[in-house]
Amino acid sequence: MASGLPEYGWCSDLDPSVPLWASWLNSDREAHMTFAAVLAGFLFATGGLFCTLLTAVGLPGTWLLIGFAGFIEVLGRFWPAFACLSPGLGMLVFGGVLALGGEILETLAGAAGSRAGGGSRRGMVGAILGGLIGGLLLTGLIPIPLLGTLIGAIIGTFAGAGIAELSGPESAGLGHGLRAALWATLGRLAGTFGKTMVAVALWLAFTFAASTACG
């Protein structure tokens, strides 16, 4: 019995024994795969940007970005729509080396800042340890979403360098200790900025590689 409803496009050729979603996929498989690749590329670029922003606030966004790209690499082996999004194993290894360099840069930047402010070796060590401890311990104590880690690391760097300078046997006084602590803090901020630039570079490289391959 006729339903009285008009039939349009591929809907008129549906096989009742085949599920609707399977009929849709098989109707124009190439076009649907292209759409899936574009959607996956958008999600990849958006997720990478979010990872980059996490790096800017002191969280391990660079490593999340590499892990995200690695997940896409594995996923592409099972779903062709994701295959062209993978930056490749070589790029992932290169990204890991850059990420490690960014971590070292951020860690040592506080010590370099302390040194630039006239701090001693003791103050440099204090800046490094203070930044690490502050970033770990103060994250949960500072009730600011995402920014807690960065603020904790800055406070820890300042406190670590200052305490180390003022408690040393060759302390040059409060003014000198505060100066070294301030420069250590500025160095830490510069290091975080440098690590963020590494994350931005990786995000752009991964996104460009994916867009070129999928284009």
Say if residue 127's pLDDT is above 70.
Answer: yes
How far is 109 from 162, CA to CA, in rounded Å? 16
- pLDDT of 195: 92
Among 27-31, 93-97, 152-156, 196-200, where is mean pLDDT lowest? Answer: 27-31
How far is 146 from 64, CA to CA, in rounded Å? 15
User: Can you tell me which residue has the tokens 């670590």?
Assistant: 160
- pLDDT of 28: 52
Q: Do residues 115 and 69 both lie within one domain?
A: no
Q: Is residue 19 part of a domain?
A: no
pTM tops 0.85, yes or no: no
Range of the domain at 178: 100-198
Q: Is residue 33 part of a domain?
A: yes
Say if residue 100's pLDDT is above 70.
Answer: yes
Q: Is residue 9 part of a domain?
A: no
Q: Do residues 84 and 151 both lie within one domain?
A: no
Q: Identify the band that residue 196 occupies on the pLDDT scale cut at 50, 70 and 90.
A: very high
How far is 163 from 182, CA to CA, in rounded Å? 12
Provide, for the chain, the percentages of residues in helix, strand and coil under a 3-state DSSP scheme, each rounded to the nearest 5. 80, 0, 20
